[in-house]
Amino acid sequence: MPVLHPARLQVGEEVRLVSPGSPPKPEDVLHTQRILEGWGLQVSLGDNVFNKYGYLAGTDDERLGDMNKALRDPSVRAIVATRGGKGSYRIADRLDFAAAREDPKFLVGFSDITILHMSLWKHSRVVGLHGALCVDETTGDIPRLSSEFLRAALMSDGPTVITSREAESTSQLTTNGTARGPVLGGNLDMIATAAGWALPDLHGAILFIEAVDLYLGQVDRQLTMLRNGGHLDGIAGIAVGQFTKFNPSKGITIIGLLRDHLSRLGVPILGGLPLGHGDHPATVPLGAAAVLDAKAGTLTIE
C-alpha cells in the first residue's frame, strides 16, 4: 500500500479529542482544548472522553466507538488522544482501517497510543504524529516548546528536523553513519506488546524507541524477544529517544543495557533525541520518510 500523508491543518478546521486509553483529568483536557483553539482550530470532544471504567476511559466498545467515529467523520481533520496510560492495546485491532485509508487524518499521541500508530500503519499506511500536549505535573502548564513542536507538525509545511541533545542520557549511544527509511516505533513497551499482531514489518525502517519507569529486566526481556523473534531484522537505523526514571540494577545501567542489545543490530544509532516522557519532548511523524545522520546528530523527516 502507498503511504498516505494527511493534509496539514488549516485555521478553522476541526480537531477531535478522544480517550483511547486511561481516563484524563478534565482540567488537562480543557487546557489542551484552549491551546488548540488558540491556534485557530475548532475542537470537539468524543462522546466518552471523560468516562471511567476502572483504569480505562470507558469500556472497550466506548473507547473504540469514539476512535472510529472520529476516523469516519469527514469534518474531523485530526484526532488528538487526551492521554496514554493503559488500554489502547485492547482496541488496536478493531480500528476502522478502511475509513483511515479513505480519509487519512493525523492521530496525535504517544506512550500507550504507540500501538494505535503501529496498527494504523500496518493496515492503512497512514502517517501519525508521536507527540502530545502534556501538562507538566510540576508547573501545571503545557511546556511552550513542546506545544510549538506539535503545532509545527500539524500546521506547517516543510521538513521536521529533530536534533540530539547532549543532556539526554541516551546521547551516549550515538555511533556513526547514515540511515534512510520511514520512522516507525515509539514506546518500547507498546512495540513489544504489538509484536506478532499489531507490529508492522520493520524492514528498511528507522526504528524509534523510548520508555519510562520500567525495570531494567523488563527492557531486557522486551529487546531480547524483539531481536530473537526476528522483528528487528532488516532495520536501517535506530533513533533513541528519552529513557526516563530508570535506576541502575546490580551495577547495570539502562545505557549499558541498551548498548548491549542495539549494538548487535549493526546499524547506525542516533541517541539523545528529545522524544518521549522527558523534558520538552518534540513531535515526530511516524511512517514518514526520514534521514538519520548520526554524525550530524539529526533526524530529518521529509
Q: Which residues belong to the active site?
A: 111, 210, 277
Structure-block grid coordinates of residue 23: 481516563
Give residue for cell 500508530: 117
Beta carbons of 75 and 14 less than 8 angstroms apart: yes
In terms of DSSP H, where are the helices of 52-184? Answer: 60-72, 97-102, 114-124, 144-155
Helix (H) or strand (E) holding 77: strand 76-81
Rounded to the nearest angstrom, the gap between the alpha carbon of residue 168 and the centroid of all alpha carbons in its chain is 18
Phi/psi region, residue 49 (left: phi>0; alpha: psi -120 to 50; beta: rest), is: alpha
Beta carbons of 23 and 87 less than 8 angstroms apart: no
- In sequence order, the 6+-apart residues with CB closer than 8 A to the CB of 133 are 31, 32, 35, 36, 80, 142, 146, 147, 150
**Parallel, antiparallel or unpaired: strands 128-130 and 284-286:** antiparallel
Longest dimension (CA), the chain: 55
Query: Distance between CA 36 and CA 273 in Å, rounded?
Result: 25
Beta carbons of 117 and 286 less than 8 angstroms apart: yes
Angle in degrees, 0-180, between the axes of helices 254-262 and 216-228, rounded to the nearest 10: 10
